[in-house]
């Protein structure tokens, strides 16, 4: 259950629909209820709009260097899978390196978000994601906390209970992965993690 903090809840988006990451320069937050075979997570997904400077020529390298400097190891450069999937044993950090994409977060009852080159997205363990559409040049940099070996699961009912147990064990990062210190994770995830339990 979310703490009933008006200022905290006001920052989060709960309704289904579409959302453009570039609508604000401040981090955006979204939470999702469990959906079919997708467990999701009470911790909000965090969108960091336009992290990479506009004049940056190699956005992929910028994200790889930034993520690695904060102990999130870059593992791939690729588009997002075109089917709903999630990681029950690790949070995932995306840096949008080129183009744009519309990504459905949260499973079939979730929310479609359009992200652009320069944006970053922190996906809590268990939150479903699926690429719906993208520009021809779209790709992202994917990174995971040092020491994590992410497993990928589809939205299947038979693995749901096991996934929920695993998600509860995933540690909250000590620092914000974009700032390397205080930021959205320390301000939002840390207080929530002290009060939240998965269903």
Question: CA-CA distance, 65 to 183, in Å (whole number)?
Answer: 18
Compute CA distances 120 → 93, 105, 194, whole Å. 7, 14, 25
76-98 tens-digit pLDDT = 999 999 999 999 999 999 999 99
Flag whether pLDDT at 2 surpasses 60. Answer: no
Instruction: Express each pLDDT in 100-139 by its tens digit.
Output: 999 999 999 999 999 999 999 999 999 999 999 999 999 9
Cα–Cα distance for residue pair 155/109, rounded to 1 Å: 12
Which pTM value belongs to this model? 0.88
Q: What is the C-alpha separation between 173 and 193, in angstroms, rounded?
A: 11
Go through the chain and tell me how many residues it has.
Answer: 199
Closest among 5, 3, 50, 60 to 28, alpha carbons compared: 50
149 vs 28: CA distance, rounded Å: 27
The residue ranges of every structural domain in the chain are 21-192
The fourth-level CATH superfamily of domain 21-192 is: Jelly Rolls (2.60.120.10)
């Amino acid at each position: 259950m979310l703490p009933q903090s008006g200022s905290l809840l006001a920052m989060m988006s709960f309704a289904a629909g579409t959302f453009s990451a570039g609508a604000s320069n401040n981090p955006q937050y979204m939470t999702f209820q469990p959906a079919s075979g997708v467990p999701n997570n009470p911790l909000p997904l965090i969108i960091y709009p336009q992290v990479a400077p506009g004049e940056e020529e190699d956005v992929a390298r910028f994200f790889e260097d930034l993520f690695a400097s904060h102990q999130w190891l870059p593992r791939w450069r690729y588009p997002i899978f075109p089917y709903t999937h999630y990681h029950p044993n690790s949070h995932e950090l995306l840096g949008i390196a080129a183009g744009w994409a519309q990504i459905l977060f949260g499973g079939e009852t979730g929310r479609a978000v359009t992200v652009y080159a320069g944006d970053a997205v922190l996906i809590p363990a268990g939150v479903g994601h699926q690429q719906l559409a993208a520009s021809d040049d779209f790709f992202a940099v994917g990174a995971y906390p040092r020491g994590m070996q992410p497993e990928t699961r589809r939205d299947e009912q038979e693995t749901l209970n096991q996934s929920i147990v695993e998600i509860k064990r995933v540690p909250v990062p000590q620092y914000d992965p974009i700032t390397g210190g205080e930021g959205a994770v320390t301000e939002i995830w840390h207080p929530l993690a002290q009060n939240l339990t998965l269903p």
